[in-house]
Amino acid sequence: MFSDKDISHFTSLETPFYYYDLVLLQKTLSNCADAAKLYNFHVHYAMKANFNQKVLQHIKATGFGADCVSGGEVSKAIEIGFDKSQVVFAGVGKSDKEINNALDHDIFCFNVESIQELEVINELAAAKGKTARVAIRINPNVDAHTHHNITTGLDENKFGINSWDLPLCADTLRKCASLEFIGIHFHIGSQITNLDVYKNLCVRVNEFAEWFEERGFAVKVLNVGGGLGIDYHNPDQQIPDFTSYFKIFNDFLNVRPNQEVHFELGRALVGQSSSLISKVLYVKNGKKKNFIILDAGMTELMRPALYQAYHQIENISKAKLSSAVKYDVVGPICESTDCFGKEVELPETLRGDLIALRSTGAYGEVMASHYNLRENIQSVYSGE
Ligand SMILES: *Cc1c(COP(=O)(O)O)cnc(C)c1O
């Protein structure tokens, strides 16, 4: 919901732009931190969801760690001031350069996704005279019941080590003198809204933890990843239910004394705190369709084109009650998938109206591209 003051401020700005509500962001972060503290759970923020400088500073100040998926993110986390003992590094394709960079920074842990990667990290750590802490990312074959393009924990997905490779994985760990095994890691997908999925995950985590313990490996860290979804259909109902989410893990995970439970939340922490504000360039009323053509496109917000993601679309220049018309809301890019919504009911819309695409805080600004030689757009903040 935007106030009249917000909207009149927006009118004076060059569009499109990302608008960040830093008060809401901080509320969300504090709410999550409080809920996690109840159970002594550790939260690492999945940086890929949004690495906007101000967003990262708020997250760091809240005391969360950083979950990185590239060398660039590891460097950025350190530069922002995340404690190196709270930086973890996942990813199926870590290059030698990225591994060396992370070793130089003495990060907390590599979440390792293949047996070959274990051998490479061992070699590179040995060459530096270091010991690398590793957790094994296991593919638990648990269905996240989310869009197939953002599912990561099924046998057919590229992520993690499959259960049938674990005996070889254990042998490799025993062989590698420059590795220290600290635990197991999972991340089964994103935008998970059915919390029962996490019960199934807990059952698998318990089994795998026991498997390692039985073979003499002390499992100090249970890292259950992230994926908690947000309600894209109710952008004003803004803070996800972190309490119920953490409670599931508290109820269903067998946590031994001295074991830590780690989470890697991305979307749930940042998703609702931003909107993409755009201006209507043209309105085309056809026989079959009415089109609203925005000055923002898939180059600014790729999620709809990439995986048919839904973002609520609002005409914030017009009162909601005026007579509704159905429009396809599209961007200016020369691709037919450059479409934010079909048959969207909006008040009758005119050139120059401001359109808000809601819930764009996660995987929005960070996925922007220069396709069509489009320029970077500005970010605007409230509540600094
Ligand atoms: C992307 C990612 C996350 C965060 O996912 P969200 O759906 O944004 O919570 C966590 N862990 C890993 C390894 C990831 O790749």
DSSP string, 259-277: -EEEEEE-HHHHGGGEEEE
Q: Are residues 282 and 369 in the same domain?
A: yes
Q: Establish whether residue 189 lines the binding site of ligand 1, counting it when its CB lies within 6 angstroms of any ligand atom.
A: no
CATH number at residue 198: 3.20.20.10
CATH number at 372 reads 2.40.37.10
Same domain, 253 and 312: no
Domain boundary among 265, 289, 321: 265
φ and ψ at residue 86, rounded to 5 degrees: -125, 20
pLDDT tens, the chain, 384 aa long: 899 999 999 999 999 999 999 999 999 999 999 999 999 999 999 999 999 999 999 999 999 999 999 999 999 999 999 999 999 999 999 999 999 999 999 999 999 999 999 999 999 999 999 999 999 999 998 888 888 777 777 877 888 999 999 999 999 999 999 999 999 999 999 999 999 999 999 999 999 999 999 999 999 999 999 999 999 999 998 899 999 999 999 999 999 999 999 999 999 999 999 999 999 999 998 888 999 999 999 999 999 999 999 999 999 998 766 678 999 999 999 999 999 999 999 999 999 999 999 999 999 999 999 999 999 999 999 987
Q: Does the beta carbon of 137 lie inside 6 Å of ligand 1?
A: no
Q: State which of 67, 146, 230, 262 you would mutate to test the pocket of ligand 1, scoring each by most atoms of that ligand within 8 A of its C-beta.
A: 67
Q: Is 363 annotated as a binding residue?
A: yes
Residue type, 228: L
Closest to 274 measured CA to CA, from 9, 22, 14:
22
331-354 pLDDT, tens per residue? 999 999 999 999 999 999 999 999
**Confidence (pLDDT) at 44:** 98
Q: Could you give the angle at which helices 166-175 and 115-127 cross, rounded to 10 degrees?
A: 10
Q: How many CB atoms lie within 10 A of CB 286?
A: 8
Domain that holds residue 333: 4-17+273-381
Token pair 């197939």 in the structure block, residue: 148
CA distance 180 to 174: 9
Query: Do residues 129 and 104 touch, judged by C-beta distance below 8 A?
Result: no
Is there a contact between 161 and 169 (Cβ–Cβ < 8 Å)?
yes
Q: What is the pLDDT of residue 321?
A: 66
C-alpha to C-alpha distances, 360 to 99, 202, 317, 365, nearest whole angstrom: 31, 30, 19, 8
Burial of 370 (0-12, 13-18, 19+ CB in 10 A): exposed
CA of 343 to the centre of ligand 1 (A): 31
Catalytic residue among 32, 176, 334, 339: 334
Residue 198 shares a structural domain with residue 246: yes
Per the structure, the count of domains in the chain is 2
Residues 12 and 47 in one domain: no
Per the annotation, does 267 bind a ligand?
yes
How far is it, in rounded angstroms, from Cα 305 to Cα 339? 7
Nearest to 292 by CA among 349, 226, 364, 217: 349
Provide the pLDDT for residue 138: 96
pTM: predicted TM-score of the whole model, two decimal places: 0.95
Q: Whose CA is nearest to atom 8 of ligand 1?
A: 266
What is the phi-psi region of residue 115: left when phi exceeds 0, alpha when psi lies from -120 to 50, beta otherwise?
A: alpha
Same domain, 29 and 82: yes
List, in sequence order, every residue forming a beta bridge with 179; answer none if it has no partner: 132
- C-alpha of residue 151 to centroid of ligand 1, in Å: 11
